[in-house]
Amino acid sequence: MRTPEETVNEFIAAIGRKDLDAAVALVADDLYYDNVPIGDMRGASAMRDFLTPMVGGDGPVAFEIVRQTASGDMVMNERIDRFTMKGKEIALPVAGVFEVHDGRITFWRDYFDNGMFMKMLKG
């Protein structure tokens, strides 16, 4: 069985490969995902629907981990999320918190500046 940190790293790698099937396989069916400035959702399928526009863009997707720490079932990271949306290249600083139980992510919360994100989209 993977450690919680290995699970989160594999989840991030799957997103980078634009492999939502592999990413969803690493989250619990009742995942709680809170994208703080935008809102929260429950369930792996809701998370898939939310991430589809990000990974469906023409450009690459990368969650570049700047710093990461893990303690018990919790993993926290500081990232630069890079992707293309609406024809704009986005490089968004994000702080993420994950909880992993029985090898699957049960909780995921991301914090970022939505004003900065909207400025990037407007370009």
Instruction: Give the per-residue pLDDT at 87.
Output: 87
Please tell me the pTM assigned to this model. 0.94
pLDDT digits (tens, 9 = 90+) for 11-61: 999 999 999 999 999 999 999 999 999 999 999 999 999 999 888 888 899
| 30/69 Cα distance (integer angstroms) | 24
Q: Is 73 a catalytic residue?
A: no
Residue 9 has pLDDT above 90, yes or no: yes
Residue 66 has pLDDT above 80, yes or no: yes
The active-site residue out of 40, 49, 81, 113 is 81
Q: Of the candidates 6, 105, 89, 8, which has an alpha carbon nearest to the alpha carbon of residue 54? A: 89
The active-site residue out of 19, 21, 29, 110 is 110
**Does residue 110 contact residue 35 with C-beta atoms inside 8 Å?**
yes
List the chain domain ranges.
4-122
Report, at the CATH architecture level, how domain 4-122 is classified. Roll (3.10)
Count other Cβ atoms within 10 Å, centred on residue 77: 22
| 92/83 Cα distance (integer angstroms) | 9
What length is written for the chain?
123
